[in-house]
Amino acid sequence: MTSLRQAYAHIRDPSHLTPPETSRSSGTTHRSPPTHPTGDDPSVSNPAPRSARKKRPTRRSAKPVWQKLLWVPQEFPDNYTDEATFLDHLQRNPQLRSYEFWPLAAESTVIVQHVCSVAIFACCFAGIYQERTSPFTIAYWGSGATILGWVFCEYWLGHDETRFDHGPEGENEDEREHDLPTNATNSPSAMLDEKQGSGSTNGTKGHEAVPISGVTLTMLSVPTQTRLTTIKSGILIYCTLLGLSPILKSLTKSTSSDSIWAMSCWLMIINVFFFDYSSEISAKFPASLSMNAAVMASTVLASRLTSTTDVFLLMLFSIEVFALFPIFRLDLRRTSWQAHLSLTVVLVGMAGSGLGVTVSGGRWKAGAIGAILGYIITSLAMGLCSWWLIGLQKYKNEIYGPWDPARPVIRRPWA
């Protein structure tokens, strides 16, 4: 061990000469030993100091990944938020539908129709109150238009049923029968048969169908039952208004006219703002608050009239305008868009002419000027409101992200 240390010290000491240098100094030529390609002597081991040695990479434990799952055991608290991935799934206005001018202006005709209907009713009341128009004329025209609209609705309903029964060409009869399980089970005749079957199963005798003028209830089709129900409801409303007219005439006798005008204006405003302008089939139409406000406004206005007949006719006209006419407009819009636009033009002209006659007190000339002004003002209002709504769309900022609560999918038993 001592000899190795001495040899190592001899090699590292610069005062000692190596064998090649000794031979050069003594004049004797010796062949130098072969060197390594890197320039180092392979026979000599020159270890580097420990500080310069590369340390081996140590294997570190992987950082746990946070998951937004409470049922997974993790090292993070329940209210932990990962700042690195918090905004990765941020979405701004994912369901944004850019508005276009002409489709938006066309959709605004629904609002125009209802506002014109309210204006027409107000003009009719003003004509009756000022004794410039006979209430019988208004009631006759309103009732005739209501009956005509009901006929059109029945025609459209029958046309749709015929087209559905025949189906597209090439469709099998079995497929059409497969598409009608709901109607068959939900029909009154099927429900009555089911009740009779359940009664016989329980040991009780099922009630037989009560004959109505020789025709049983189960022999009537669903459209026929709907028509009979509609006629019965119309007769009930007619009789109710006829009986309540004397009471409605003296309902606000102790109230000043200024309070009646203010109350009726606010009720009509509520009717316009809370009206259901949607075109969905499943929507409740018309809205209950809107229709109740309109009927209440009609009631307080009718109480200002002089005779019981005028009260009855005005209330009948209000039911036709605020309860039945919206249903006709909805069916017409779903059936024919051209007819819907034509009805809008007619209503704007009628409302404009009625307001012109009511405000100025004139006749046909005032009505024509009012109709022209009505068309101009309505067109400007539709255009400006459409551009205004398109301009407001850039301020829409609806944010969706992973922090939103999940919406459960609820499956109904019959789905």
Mean of the per-residue pLDDT values of the chain: 76
Most confidently modeled of 157-161, 231-235, 304-308? 304-308
In this predicted structure, what is the pLDDT of residue 192? 36
> Is residue 336, in this structure, part of any structural domain at all?
yes
- Which regions of 173-281 does DSSP assign to beta strands (E)? none
**What is the rounded distance in angstroms from the CA atom of residue 245 to the CA atom of residue 240?**
9
Task: Give how far Cα 195 sits from Cα of 198, 219, 302, Å.
Answer: 5, 17, 47
Candidates 121, 115, 117, 116; CA nearest to 315 is 121
> Is residue 58, in this structure, part of any structural domain at all?
no
Percent of the chain's residues with pLDDT above 90 = 38
> Is residue 130, in this structure, part of any structural domain at all?
yes
**What is the rounded distance in angstroms from the CA atom of residue 87 to the CA atom of residue 399?**
11
DSSP state of 92: E
**What is the rounded distance in angstroms from the CA atom of residue 233 to the CA atom of residue 239?**
10
Q: Which pLDDT tens digit goes with each residue over 395-408?
A: 888 887 766 666 67
**What is the rounded distance in angstroms from the CA atom of residue 351 to the CA atom of residue 362?**
15
> Is residue 309, in this structure, part of any structural domain at all?
yes
Task: Give how far Cα 215 sits from Cα of 219, 235, 318, Å.
Answer: 7, 21, 36
In this predicted structure, what is the pLDDT of residue 401? 73
In this predicted structure, what is the pLDDT of residue 6? 54
Sign of the C-alpha dihedral, residues 86, 88, 89, 91? positive
Higher-confidence position of 59 and 405:
405
**Token digits for 396?**
């829409």
Number of domains in the chain: 1
In this predicted structure, what is the pLDDT of residue 80? 82
> Is residue 198, in this structure, part of any structural domain at all?
no
- Close Cβ partners of 306 (under 8 Å, ≥ 6 residues apart): none
pLDDT at position 300 over 80: yes
Neighbours of 366 (CB within 10 A): 17
What is the residue whose two structure tokens read 């209002």?
Answer: 381
Higher-confidence position of 186 and 391:
391
Q: 95 with 325: CB under 8 angstroms?
A: no
Cross-strand pairs, 400: 91
Structure confidence at residue 79 as a pLDDT band (50, 70, 90): confident
In this predicted structure, what is the pLDDT of residue 78? 80
pLDDT at position 200 over 50: no
Phi and psi torsions of 215, nearest 5°: -120, 125
Least confident range of 94-103, 126-135, 214-223, 357-366: 214-223
> Is residue 330, in this structure, part of any structural domain at all?
yes
Range of the domain at 149: 101-162+223-399
> Is residue 111, in this structure, part of any structural domain at all?
yes
Percent of the chain's residues with pLDDT above 70 = 66
> Is residue 322, in this structure, part of any structural domain at all?
yes
